[in-house]
Amino acid sequence: MIPIIIFTILSLDQLTKFLISKNLSIHESVPVIPRVFHLTLVENRGAAFGILKNQTLLFICTAILAVVLILSSLRENRQRRLYSFSLSLILSGALGNLIDRLRFGYVVDFLDFRVWPVFNIADSAITIGAVVLGWSILRNPKSQIPNPK
C-alpha cells in the first residue's frame, strides 16, 4: 500500500507541474473560481512562503536527509498503518519538490487561493501528512516513543 500511495501522489504532483508549466507563462494566472481559486505559475526558489530564497543546495541536502530518515522509519514501522500513511504522504511530497529542485533549481507552484501563498500537490501532501502524523502521535503518545534497547 505504501508504494502505491507514494507513486500516486508523486505522479500526480509531477504531472500537474508539467501541465501547468507547459500551458502557463511565469506569473500568468487563470481564474478557476474568480477571486477565490486561480492557477498561477510561480517558480519558488525558497522554502515555505518563499523564505530562505536561493538556498537550493541546503534544500536539496535537507530533502535527501528527510527521505533517508523517512524510508528508514517506514521500514521499521510497517505495522503502524496511520503512522506509515502519514510518512508516505510526507515522503511523496518531499520527493516531488526534490525532483523540481534537482531539475530546475526551484519548485513549481501553481495552486493559488489568493489568501495563502501559491503551493502545489507536493506541499499539500507534506502538510496533510504532518497533520495526520501529529494527530496519530497525540492520539496514542506512548506507542510513538521507541523503547530504549
User: pLDDT tens digits, residue range 63-108?
Assistant: 999 999 999 988 887 778 899 999 999 999 999 999 999 999 999 9
Residue of 13, 100, 112, 123 with catalytic role: 123
In sequence order, what DSSP letters do the residues of 63-106 get, joined into one string?
A: HHHHHHHHHHHHHHTTT-HHHHHHHHHHHHHHHHHHHHHHHHSS
Please tell me which residue in 13, 100, 109, 112 is annotated as part of the active site. Answer: 109
8 Å CB contact between 27 and 42: yes
> Is 143's pLDDT higher than 80?
no
- Between 81-104 and 121-139, two packed helices, what is the crossing angle to 10 degrees? 150
For residue 13, indicate whether it is catalytic: no
Determine the pLDDT at residue 59. 86
DSSP 149: -
What value does the mean pLDDT take over residues 16-37? 97
Place of cell 500526480: 12
Give residue 148's pLDDT band: very low, low, confident or very high (50, 70, 90).
very low
Alpha-carbon distance of 71 to 114, in angstroms, equals 35
Verify whether residue 112 is a known catalytic residue. no
The values of phi and psi at residue 127, to 5°, are -65, -50
Rounded distance between C-alpha atoms, residue 40 and residue 29, angstroms: 4
> Which is more confidently placed, 1 or 66?
66
Helix (H) or strand (E) holding 108, with range, is strand 107-112
